[in-house]
Structure 1
Amino acid sequence: MKKRILLVDDEVAVLLTLKAVLEINGFEVDTAASGREGKLKLRSNEYHMVISDMRMESDQAGAAVIAAARSAPYEPVVALLTAYPLAEEDWQEMGADRMLVKPMHTRLLLEQIDRLMQAHAARRTGNGTALAAAKAPGSVKKATRPPAAKKKVASKKTASKKSVSKKAVSKKTAAKKAIAKKPVKLAAKKAVKRAARPA
């Protein structure tokens, strides 16, 4: 079954070029030359994907098409097509799955569409749930210590190394002192023995 795409753009040249490219590559394509026409088509037909220009009869016409596509019960993939790139949070806030910047190389456009459709299909069947959860920010927390904790651990290690080295030094000095005392003790014993001998 062919995938159906709705193209919404007020530039006829862009509309016809994209339609031809997509149809050659096996898609069934509907076109709308305004945001209003796009919304009407979304109500009367079902699409796997909607690609809409941002600025048409008004600056917000594309946002209105995206909102209509998002509220469609058949849940199409939604891409925003624009010559004026927006910040990622802006087009995501609008409800688009992707922003496509025109003009776009044909091969790149087809790759993007293919990836979007695959991800959307995986989400709908539930196969993408684990993947989406894994990619979601904050879902996988790495077992890392805060820098302060790392410093504390390092200082404990250095403190224990210092105490070990101090103990080793003190043991060495004690052994040296004991060795140094031995000749003194021996000399004292010999002196006592000599003094005890009869003259």
Structure 2
Amino acid sequence: MQTENVHLLLVEDNSRFLSELVDWLNDYGYRHIEKASSVAQATEKLSDPYDVIISDMRMEQDDSGFAIVEQVKTRNLSSVVIILTANDTVIDCRNAFKFGA
């Protein structure tokens, strides 16, 4: 699949990180990028198809990026979910794999 054909949803509550991620992905040729700054906003957007969802693990307003993984599973979506985090605990990594990210 060509990068310009990949539909992405980025979920990040830090506007600076979100902007940097969008710029970085644009540099690599990704053109179909939707953004959400909370799990609630992302959940609303899940009615549209996304190939890849990239979500922050910990967000201030919502419980976590794991809620996105749960929504993808509940809705039986085929999106690949990637969880980003600055946390380096083994427990967080295990939970990400356990939830299917």
The aligned counterpart of 1:172 is none
> Which runs of at least 4 in structure 1 moved beyond 3 Å after TM superposition?
71-74
* Structure with greater helix share of residues: 1
**Superposition TM-score, scaled by structure 2 size:** 0.82
The aligned counterpart of 1:33 is 37
Aligned residues: 94
Alpha-carbon distance in 1 for matches of 2:83, 2:27: 22
| Structure 2: 5+ residue stretches without partners | none
The aligned counterpart of 2:50 is 47
The aligned counterpart of 1:8 is 11
Bigger relative contact order, structure 1 or 2, given CA contacts below 8 A and separation 6+? Answer: 2
**Superposition TM-score, scaled by structure 1 size:** 0.44
- 1:94 CA drift (Å): 2.1
The aligned counterpart of 2:100 is 95
| Structure 1: 5+ residue stretches without partners | 97-199
Alpha-carbon distance in 2 for matches of 1:85, 1:39: 26
Alpha-carbon distance in 1 for matches of 2:96, 2:23: 26
- Is the contact made by 1:50 and 1:78 (CA closer than 8 Å) also made in structure 2? yes
> C-alpha root-mean-square deviation of aligned residues, in Å?
1.6
The aligned counterpart of 2:70 is 67
* Structure with greater strand share of residues: 2
Given the alignment of the two structures, is residue 84 of structure 1 paired with residue 87 of structure 2, yes or no? yes
Of all paired residues, the percent bearing the same amino acid is 30
